Amino acid sequence: MKKISTGFGIALQLFAASILFTACEKELKLAQVSNSNKIVLLGELTAGDTMLIRAGRSASFSGDTTIFKLIENLKLDIGNGGNVYTMTGMPDWNSEYYKTIPYSLPIAVLPGTSYTIKGAHPELEDIECNVTIPRPFEAAILDTATASHPSLPLGVLRFRIDIQDNPAEDNFYVAEVLMQEMMISGYFIWEGNWYSINGNEKLYDSLSAHGPVETHFDTTAGEQLNRIMLYTNDHETENLKIGNNLSYYRRILLSDRSFSGGNHILTIDADKTNMFPFSGHGRLLVKVKSVAREYFEYLRLYERGGMTDGFYNNSLPLKLEGNVKNGLGVVGGVFLRQFTYTVQGF
């Protein structure tokens, strides 16, 4: 089973959004930043996880459209202090579609640490990306409840999240909810060999009719993560500065300006429309992240560009500036608290 990486998930989201489209598939007007080819980095470095980001290249810039293609011969080094390591790049099953290649390193990301990523390519300008990993913080889900919503027939699943802020520093938080399919495969033994129940139902039913049958079941997480749209009525969030409590968002964004060193109860409502896994089994991943400032600003502008009522401020051009010097994209520093809920229908 392949591991689902936070970096991979965010790469897909940011890649599509920062290039052409919002969630409603309207063209997002981007301010022109360059007409030259550039190295592109996308992803997250999450404390405690191994290092994984995705890389691509911009092939041309025409009007307000950037075209990307797979990158070759890219050398990516990552270091903190005096330790520098070369990341390994290898195309995967999504590389051709998303025009990015995952670059990884089997070393855990350390909290409270700064990393520098340097990229070199024979045809493109060298890039540098500085990523700060936040210190650990505490978060807990106090309770969950179903609630009605004026525009959602199935209502919402409400989460009340207690965030404990670290004192004497500026902190930035992101909350998101993802759905992951879970595949359950059943097997039975007959004449000393194991057989899949799926595809051998008649044999299994025949054996079961004559007595107990030895079985075992494997649960496998699907490779697809589906984003659940969110609502909030928390006026401390950045979301309600660009929208209202009836607008839906990909992520809920919160800074600690009003509760520095204290705690804050964040309420988010998750749209139940897409919480029914096709397989009948799934899990909700509720992610509460402390993120680096530059990543927070990138995501804030991303949410602003994807407002549900079209474009913000009558389609003003947006310039999604990340932290990749001489390149495009963003690599976010993250400390993650994750909460998992089994889903079999509500």
Output the average pLDDT for the chain. Answer: 84
Q: What does the angle CA 221 – CA 222 – CA 225 come to, to the nearest 5 degrees?
A: 110
Which amino acid type is present at position 196? S
Can you say whether the dihedral through the CA atoms of 302, 307, 311, 313 is positive or negative?
negative
**What pLDDT score was predicted for residue 318?**
56
Q: How far apart are CA 329 and CA 39, in angstroms?
A: 9
Question: Strand 328-343 vs strand 39-46: parallel, antiparallel, or unpaired?
Answer: parallel
The alpha carbon dihedral of 65, 70, 74, 77 has a sign of positive
pLDDT at residue 4 tops 70? no
Burial class of 158 by CB neighbour count within 10 A (0 to 12, 13 to 18, 19+):
middle
User: Which is more confident, 303 or 117?
Assistant: 117
* CB distance 256 to 167 below 8 Å: no
The answer on pLDDT for 165 being more than 50 is: yes
> Does the structure show a pLDDT above 70 at 76?
yes
Whose CA is closest to 261, among 156, 152, 171, 201?
171
pLDDT digits (tens, 9 = 90+) for 329-341: 999 999 999 999 9
C-beta of residue 330 within 8 angstroms of C-beta of residue 7: no
Angle in degrees, CA 140, 334, 82, rounded to 5: 135
The predicted pLDDT at position 278 comes to: 66
Least confident interval from 32-36, 48-52, 222-226: 32-36
Residue 205 is given by DSSP the state: H
Tokens matching residue 131: 């990523």
Q: At a CB cut-off of 8 Å and minimum separation 6, what does 52 contact?
A: 5, 7, 8, 43, 102, 103, 104, 105
**C-beta separation of 337 from 285 below 8 A:** no
Query: Looking at residue 183, what is its pLDDT?
Result: 81
The answer for residues whose C-beta is within 8 angstroms of residue 322's C-beta and 6 or more apart is: 41, 294, 298, 328, 329, 330, 331
| DSSP 3-state of 317 | coil
Residue 198 pLDDT > 80? yes
3-state SS assignment for residue 95: helix
pLDDT in tens, 109-164: 999 999 999 999 999 999 999 999 999 999 999 999 999 999 999 999 999 999 99
Dist CA 156 CA 233 (whole Å): 13
How far apart are alpha carbons 43 and 41 in whole angstroms? Answer: 7
Flag whether pLDDT at 15 surpasses 60. no
- Give the integer Cα–Cα distance in Å for 249 and 134: 24
- In this prediction, residue 166 carries a pLDDT of 94
Do residues 179 and 284 touch, judged by C-beta distance below 8 A? yes
Write down the pTM of the prediction. Answer: 0.81
Give me the pLDDT at residue 14, please.
41
Express each pLDDT in 213-241 by its tens digit.
Answer: 999 998 877 777 889 999 999 999 999 99
Can you state the percent helix, strand and coil of the chain, rounding each to 5?
15, 50, 35
Both tokens of 254, joined, read 């919160």
Q: How far apart are the first and last CA of the chain?
A: 27
